[in-house]
């Protein structure tokens, strides 16, 4: 496909150049806001070209050429991976899941600021993150007047385009031209004290414009690419994921029966990954109809539910699809465009909207403790895994906050239910439901001492249950106070033991 079909603005067509030429326009030390959310809609050529330039400069003795990298969320090997391999990122925010980035962050070679995804755009507007120098944004096309057809994610692109001094656009002709019209870019945000209510009351509401505004005079380069998004392949649901999904669906049915949820539930938010996909697969076979989703990421399971009709509408900020699902999505995009809207992440994750809609928040975690505190980000207290992402936006403000994990990790060496988590991302005040393949603990309204035995009995793996019950019993005897009884000298000893012996 010729890029000229997609670049309809003559002034911007004149700025077509190679990725290498465009990358050369990014100065060392710049803060660069790139598109990309969960491996969708990230720039694919300029970051790699920039990494090559950095490698050349490294070879010539310049160890200093680095950028600050801001995105929507996680990207892909061509972006985070390529820049991390040349140690080209000084500071990374607000989320990453790249193995090379993770290695550098945990080696103390890259700074990482892990943020609530709903906070990022406003923090940039407020000036809390420093100056944004360059935006590098993938788009599906450029209209004659310079407006942009967004790609397979929206993320923070509106904010990067607004805030950056200079803009580099990657026009990716692999992305379906049919994406046009699927997005809803809300331009009603303001800085306080000038903010107004956000007029969205249903996941299907459109409150903005289908295109991104862009000042053509800020555009310093346009690059043509034709390359697929990172594939997110999912394994077929394993028995553990199926059991977790089963507990959640049973619980939702119970809540409907008790009159605490309408029969079409409330808008679903679902984290990414195999457990989340198993829950969605379960819902697709399950008893609920006319469902909606108000979530960050639309993955395979939701596409299946849209196809089956179980899901009437899905709002997200990004797609995250397997190769097969992406092919289906592109082939049937007219069907999906009536049923999907992609929004900026400040809207998809907005506390105002998550609370108003009453989202059912379902997020994975690394570990929970006996009092219901959840660690979503850290391995053994010190190392980052990925980041908090939007889990806090949804869990704090949703109607229900569900956290899920298998009860064991590392072939049984690690219990995901521990006396005290080694890092807290979601406090006891924000966690209502904990689920493992063993069962579900409903913590609503309970005091800490009531939560502990429930979490252990319902959620911990039997191989760790006696030790946990022993800790609870001894803490109830020996703790200095009994609101949240802890033996501080051994509260983190499970993690210490794992670090020393390889087993908790």
For residue 340, count CB atoms less than 10 angstroms from its CB and return exposed for 0-12, middle for 13-18, buried for 19 or more: buried
Residues in 449-478 at the binding interface with its own copies, rule: CB under 8 A = 449-450, 475-476
The residue from 56, 128, 254, 466 that contacts its own copies (CB under 8 A) is 128
* Minimum distance of its own copies from residue 338's CB (angstroms): 20
Query: β-strand 383-384 against 378-379: which pairing, if any?
Result: antiparallel
Q: Where are the alpha helices (DSSP H) in 139-293?
A: 157-163, 239-257, 274-285
Which residues are bridge partners to 89 per DSSP?
A: 67
Which tokens hold the place of 77?
């090997």
Q: Which is nearer to its own copies, 310 or 495 (CB)?
A: 495
The residue from 18, 28, 113, 467 that contacts its own copies (CB under 8 A) is 113
Q: Does 485 bind its own copies (CB under 8 A)?
A: yes
Which regions of 12-53 does DSSP assign to beta strands (E)?
31-34
Residues in 385-404 at the binding interface with its own copies, rule: CB under 8 A = 388, 392, 396-397, 399
Residues in 404-443 at the binding interface with its own copies, rule: CB under 8 A = 422-430, 432
Q: Which is nearer to its own copies, 297 or 359 (CB)?
A: 359
Annotated binding site for CoA: 366, 386, 390, 410
Compute how many residues bind its own copies; rule: CB under 8 A: 89
The residue from 243, 284, 415, 484 that contacts its own copies (CB under 8 A) is 484
Which tokens hold the place of 306?
């849209």
Residues in 155-174 at the binding interface with its own copies, rule: CB under 8 A = none
Q: Does 481 bind its own copies (CB under 8 A)?
A: yes
Q: Which is nearer to its own copies, 48 or 376 (CB)?
A: 376
Token pair 């999912």: residue: 234
Q: Does 233 bind its own copies (CB under 8 A)?
A: no
Alpha carbons 148 and 9: distance in angstroms, whole number: 10
Concatenated DSSP letters for 420-456?
A: S-SS-SB-GGG--EEEETTEEEE-TT--HHHHHHHHH
Q: How far does CA 349 lie from the centroid of its chain?
A: 10
Query: β-strand 111-112 against 360-364: which pairing, if any?
Result: unpaired
Q: What is the CA radius of gyration of the chain?
A: 23
* Minimum distance of its own copies from residue 179's CB (angstroms): 28
Q: Does 501 bind its own copies (CB under 8 A)?
A: no
Active site residues: 296
The residue from 168, 272, 379, 459 that contacts its own copies (CB under 8 A) is 379
Alpha carbons 65 and 72: distance in angstroms, whole number: 23
* Minimum distance of its own copies from residue 125's CB (angstroms): 10
Residues in 326-365 at the binding interface with its own copies, rule: CB under 8 A = 350-352, 355-358
């Amino acid at each position: 496909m010729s890029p000229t079909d997609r670049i309809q603005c003559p002034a911007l067509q004149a700025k077509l150049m190679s990725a290498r030429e465009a990358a050369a326009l990014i100065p060392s030390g710049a803060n660069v806001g790139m598109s990309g959310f969960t491996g969708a809609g990230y720039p694919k050529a300029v970051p790699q070209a920039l990494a090559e330039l950095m490698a050349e400069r490294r070879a010539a003795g310049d160890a200093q050429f680095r950028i600050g990298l801001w995105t929507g969320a996680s990207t892909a090997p061509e972006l985070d991976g390529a820049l991390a391999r040349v140690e080209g990122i000084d500071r990374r925010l607000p989320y990453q899941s790249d193995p090379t980035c993770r290695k550098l962050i945990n080696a103390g070679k890259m700074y990482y600021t892990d943020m609530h995804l709903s906070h990022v755009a406003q923090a940039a507007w407020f000036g809390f993150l420093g100056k944004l120098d360059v935006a590098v944004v993938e788009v599906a096309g450029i209209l004659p007047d310079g407006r942009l057809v967004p790609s397979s994610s929206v993320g923070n692109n509106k904010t990067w385009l607004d805030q950056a001094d200079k803009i580099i656009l990657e026009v990716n002709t692999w992305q379906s031209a049919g994406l046009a019209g699927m997005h809803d870019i809300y331009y009603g945000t303001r800085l306080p004290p000038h903010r107004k209510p956000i007029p969205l009351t249903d996941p299907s509401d459109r409150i903005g414009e289908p295109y991104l505004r862009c000042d053509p005079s800020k555009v310093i380069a346009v690059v043509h690419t034709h390359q697929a998004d990172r594939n997110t392949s999912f394994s077929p649901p394993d028995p553990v994921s199926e059991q977790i999904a089963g507990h959640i669906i049973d619980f939702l049915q119970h809540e409907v029966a008790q009159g605490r949820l309408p029969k079409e539930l409330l808008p679903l938010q679902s984290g990414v990954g195999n457990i989340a996909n198993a829950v969605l697969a379960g819902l697709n076979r399950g008893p609920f109809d006319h469902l909606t989703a108000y979530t960050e990421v639309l993955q395979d399971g939701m596409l299946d539910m849209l196809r089956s009709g179980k899901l009437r509408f899905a709002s997200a900020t990004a797609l995250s699809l397997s190769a097969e699902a992406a092919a289906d999505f592109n082939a049937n995009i007219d069907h999906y465009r009536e049923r999907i809207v992609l929004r900026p992440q400040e809207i998809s994750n907005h506390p105002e909207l998550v609370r108003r809609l009453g989202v059912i928040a379902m997020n994975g975690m690394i570990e929970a403790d006996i009092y219901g505190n959840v660690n979503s980000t850290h391995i053994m207290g010190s190392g980052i895994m990925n980041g908090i992402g939007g889990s806090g936006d949804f869990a704090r403000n949703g109607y229900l906050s569900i956290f899920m994990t298998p009860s064991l990790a590392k072939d049984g060496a690690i219990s995901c239910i521990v006396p005290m988590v080694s890092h807290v991302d979601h406090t006891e005040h924000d966690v209502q439901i904990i689920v493992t393949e063993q069962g579900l603990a409903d913590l609503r309204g309970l005091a800490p001492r009531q939560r502990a035995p429930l979490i252990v009995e319902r959620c911990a793996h039997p191989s760790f249950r006696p030790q946990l019950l022993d800790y609870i019993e001894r803490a109830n005897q020996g703790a200095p106070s009994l609101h949240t009884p802890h033996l501080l000298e051994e509260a983190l000893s499970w993690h210490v033991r794992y670090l020393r012996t390889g087993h908790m």
